[in-house]
């Protein structure tokens, strides 16, 4: 690899942007699921008021709501992880701005290795993966 420091800084900023976009998408998915949960709860309340004897069916649906809530919590945790990594990439971009390209590259490789960055990018190869392939 023969990138300049500016190219490596741009790479870090691009990675941060991609992660932020993914975090936003995950947040939207979580919000949609929360809206669905709210609708389901309202439907259950109405059913319970109409036919209190259907408690067994309502308990089963309540378990489904708990599963959806667990999914929302998992999405929020994932969203937070993406946001944190995005912020860390931006910090790294600032930190390597005035370094030699070789040093900047080594810092990115270490950074991505320590944070398992390739796991966050399904459709994009990280510098860590590229360097590993070249070795």
pLDDT for the residue numbered 1: 66
Percent residues over pLDDT 90 in the chain: 78
Burial tier of 48 (Cβ tally within 10 Å: 0-12, 13-18, 19+): middle
Backbone dihedral region for residue 125 (phi beyond 0: left; psi -120 to 50: alpha; all else: beta): beta
pLDDT for the residue numbered 98: 94
Per-residue H/E/C for the chain: CCCCHHHHHHHHHHHHHHHHHHHHHHHHHHHHHHHHHHHHHHHHHHHHHHCHHHHHHHHHHHHHHHHHHHHHHHHHHHHHHHHHHHHHHHHHHHHHCCCCHHHHHHHHHHHHHHCCHHHHCCCCCCHHHHHHHHC
pLDDT for the residue numbered 118: 97
Task: Note the pTM of the prediction, 2 decimals.
Answer: 0.88
Q: What are the backbone dihedrals phi and psi of residue 38, each rounded to the nearest 5 degrees, phi first?
A: -60, -45
Rounded Cα–Cα distance for residues 50 and 28 (Å):
33
pLDDT for the residue numbered 121: 95
């Amino acid at each position: 690899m023969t990138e300049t420091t500016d190219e490596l800084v741009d790479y870090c900023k691009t990675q941060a942007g991609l992660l932020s976009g993914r975090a936003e998408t995950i947040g939207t998915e979580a919000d949609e699921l929360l809206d669905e949960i709210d609708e389901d709860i309202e439907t259950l309340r109405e059913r319970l008021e109409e036919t209190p004897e259907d408690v067994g069916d309502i308990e089963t649906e309540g378990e489904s709501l708990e599963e959806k809530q667990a999914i929302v919590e998992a999405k929020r945790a994932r969203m937070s992880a993406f946001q944190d990594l995005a912020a860390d990439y931006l910090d790294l971009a600032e930190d390597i701005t005035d370094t030699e390209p070789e040093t900047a590259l080594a810092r990115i490789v270490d950074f991505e290795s320590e944070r398992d960055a390739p796991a966050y990018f399904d459709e994009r190869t990280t510098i860590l993966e590229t360097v590993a392939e070249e070795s």
